[in-house]
Amino acid sequence: MKLRARSFVSYLERVLQVTILSEGLLENALMHSSYVNENPAHQTTNNERLEFLGDAVLGIIISEKLYEKFPDHREGKLSKYRSALVNEKSLAECAQKIDLGEYVLLGKGEASTGGKEKPSILSDTYEAVLAALYLENGLELSRKFVLYTMGDRIECADVRVKKHDHKTRFQEWAQRNMKTIPEYIVLSEDGPDHDKVFEICVKIRGKEYARAKGSSKKESEQSCAKIALGMARKGMIS
């Protein structure tokens, strides 16, 4: 365990060009609950508490950078930008940028089913690592970590929202062409709390046009809207 954590610290020091003063919590940050459950003799805790804190630290750093970059934008638009940056898919991609999946400690069952590539595990571990860096090395190093992994996304946050906010674009289409707004309905919610799958459909005036599954309601709604937009462009919605 310690060797893996030390290897990850060395990697971070190299890519961030910093010296990490303390690394004790980083070992904990890499421990998924499946590993801890399968190894009770180690008497250690999983990374879920760190993940909780990391989410808050990430929110502060991202909000600060968006506030600085878009001085003329209102709160509502800044919130959309932040949502486009701080979500499971985005954080998982940022985790892949630093090969985080290669360092996370998983139980045998989770590892055998591709756990190191699961977006939910990658995004949660990313936040846990951020919290560990914050607690033991301070906000400045935490900020460097976020900017290294997410800096390019922050720079084009407005473009990302316009490109990927299918739900807003579909609503605008429906209001313009059908004089109403789409309705999103949760059809099912399966799986444990840490790995839920939501199935959602989108309807207009009671008629269903698309349905999709995702690891969050927002993700499922966006997928539904994307499908519906494609149908609208082909004249399949009227």
| Both tokens assigned to 71 | 């001085």
What one-character-per-residue DSSP string does 61-129 give? HHHHHHHHH-TT--HHHHHHHHHHHSSHHHHHHHHHHTTGGGT-B--HHHHHTTGGG-HHHHHHHHHHH
Active site residue 13: no
Query: Are 220 and 212 in contact, with CB atoms under 8 Å apart?
Result: yes
The single residue of 27, 55, 110, 219 carrying the catalytic annotation is 55
Phi/psi of residue 98, each to 5°?
A: -110, 20
In this structure, what are the phi and psi dihedrals at residue 235, rounded to the nearest 5 degrees? 75, 25
Question: Active site includes 93?
Answer: no
**Catalytic one of 110, 127, 219, 221:** 127
Residues marked active site are found at 55, 127
